[in-house]
Amino acid sequence: MKIKEIQVGQISVPLKKSFKTALRTVDKIEDIVVKIITDTGHIGYGEAAPTAVITGDTKGSIKCAVENYIAPQIIGLEIENIEEIMNRIDKSLIKNTSAKAAVDIAIYDLFGQFHKSPIYKLLGGYRKEIISDLTISVNSPEEMAEDSIEAVKRGYKTLKIKVGLDSQMDIKRIQAIRDAIGYDIDLRLDANQGWKPKEAVVLLRKMEDKGFNIELVEQPVIANDLEGLKYVTQNVNIPILADESVFSPVDALKIIQNRAADLINIKLMKTGGIHNALKICSIAEVYGVECMLGCMLESKLSVSAAVHLAASKKIITKIDLDGPGLCKEDPIEGGPEFKDYKITLNDEPGLGFKNIGNLSI
């Protein structure tokens, strides 16, 4: 099974409501889709999210990276030699992790089809069902409380609350949410780099004193400030999870060895796909550091690849794969079944897609 052709297209999926973080506001998913066709007529699909404020990747840069840098390096290679393909993807250009992720995902889809096996079983096959949280966008405390009630009605047991725009309001936001939904639901916070280190410590200690019972806090400070991240980690009891500070396996190793965070958020769009995410899992296993498997604003296409990885590894204990749960519609036929919080894998080979609707190439 040889790589014959690589096509680049686009998918557009409307969201249920605007997605708002400390970094950006988005109304719909507009991602790049990679379609790889083999000489045997098999097709593999991948997706890249242009999250410029986090990865630096835009639709234009992703398309250019895939067409002009990655594709020429891998056309003609055998799918079964996945090691050579992934080496060439990594060496084709630096950074551009979302473009690399889209190609990596499509290659894994084909690798599974080649071996007639779902990907999660090839990677370890640890579980068949995973439970995701749902993200609540940063808005007024009243609106966030209403959105949280709605999410609980949909069955979510864990909510990921976006904060980081204004620390005084953040206390009010969490108070309003706890008043609205009580204490049976787990709350994790994501500040998306919005606080200063000292501000984060003061705020999180207040939240501890108020008994808000926060499961973890994601990326409290700016991505490059590892000293600041470590300061927060060492001065609060709530576990701190590194997100934007960790792209590569080298980043993960540095954070873990410096004890700059308690947990690592792995996202395919930051690692450049499954092959590098696996290296982070191995590093984390060595040090006993649990990981979250997260996503950017992505459709079910690339989130399905993350689902396969999350299902395969024991060290992944926290799931933030809510891209499809935030969407108004799902144009992807086949693949894992997303029923709000519950995601169930099946035994279809590769990623198991039947059709990608709404795809323009």
Ligand X SMILES: C[C@H](N)C(=O)N[C@@H](CCC(=O)O)C(=O)O
Residue 206 annotated to the active site: no
13 makes contact, choosing from Mg ion, ligand X, none, with CB < 5 to 8 Å by partner type, with none
Q: Binder to ligand X among 249, 273, 323, 352 (CB under 6 A)?
A: 323
Query: Chain centroid to CA 331: how far?
Result: 19
Catalytic residue among 63, 121, 267, 270: 267
Residues at the site binding Mg ion, with contacts judged by CB under 5 A: 190, 218, 243
Residue 265 CB, nearest approach to ligand X (Å): 6
Give whichever of 3 and 296 is closer to ligand X, judged by the CB atom: 296
Q: Which stretch binds ligand X (CB under 6 A): 57-65, 165-173, 230-238, 294-302?
A: 294-302
The answer to whether 294 contacts ligand X (rule: CB under 6 A) is yes
Q: Does residue 291 contact residue 284 with C-beta atoms inside 8 Å?
A: yes
Q: Does residue 248 contact residue 271 with C-beta atoms inside 8 Å?
A: yes
260 makes contact, choosing from ligand X, Mg ion, none, with CB < 5 to 8 Å by partner type, with none
Distance CA 270, CA 176 (A): 33
Strand, coil or helix: 318: strand
Q: Phi then psi for 67, rounded to 5 degrees? A: -70, -45
Residue 144 CB, nearest approach to ligand X (Å): 14
Q: Copy the structure tokens of residue 343.
A: 């995601």
Give whichever of 1 and 15 is closer to ligand X, judged by the CB atom: 15
Residues 29-68 close enough to bind ligand X by CB under 6 A: 51
323 makes contact, choosing from Mg ion, ligand X, none, with CB < 5 to 8 Å by partner type, with ligand X
297 makes contact, choosing from ligand X, Mg ion, none, with CB < 5 to 8 Å by partner type, with ligand X
x/- binding map, residues 141-160, to ligand X, per CB under 6 A?
-------------------x
The residues with which 329 forms a beta bridge, in sequence order, are none
The answer to whether 320 contacts ligand X (rule: CB under 6 A) is yes
Question: Per the annotation, does 295 bind a ligand?
Answer: yes
Distance CA 120, CA 126 (A): 8
Nearest to 90 by CA among 110, 109, 69, 75: 69
Give whichever of 6 and 161 is closer to ligand X, judged by the CB atom: 161
Which helix (H) or strand (E) covers residue 351, if one does?
none
Distance CA 42, CA 80 (A): 13
Output the CA angle 167-231-245, nearest 5 degrees.
80
Distance CA 51, CA 357 (A): 22
313 makes contact, choosing from Mg ion, ligand X, none, with CB < 5 to 8 Å by partner type, with none
Q: At what angle do helices 249-257 and 274-287 cross, to 10 degrees?
A: 20
Nearest residue to the partner Mg ion, using Cβ = 243
Q: Phi then psi for 39, rounded to 5 degrees? A: -65, -15
Question: Per the annotation, does 297 bind a ligand?
Answer: yes
Question: Per the annotation, does 345 bind a ligand?
Answer: no
Q: Copy the structure tokens of residue 340.
A: 């709000």
Residue 267 annotated to the active site: yes
Q: Which stretch binds ligand X (CB under 6 A): 122-130, 229-237, 253-261, 319-327?
A: 319-327
Neighbours of 177 (CB within 10 A): 23
Give whichever of 28 and 88 is closer to ligand X, judged by the CB atom: 28
Q: Binder to ligand X among 241, 295, 306, 345 (CB under 6 A)?
A: 295
Q: At what angle do helices 97-114 and 274-287 cross, to 10 degrees?
A: 90
Give whichever of 35 and 188 is closer to ligand X, judged by the CB atom: 188
| Residues noted as catalytic | 162, 267
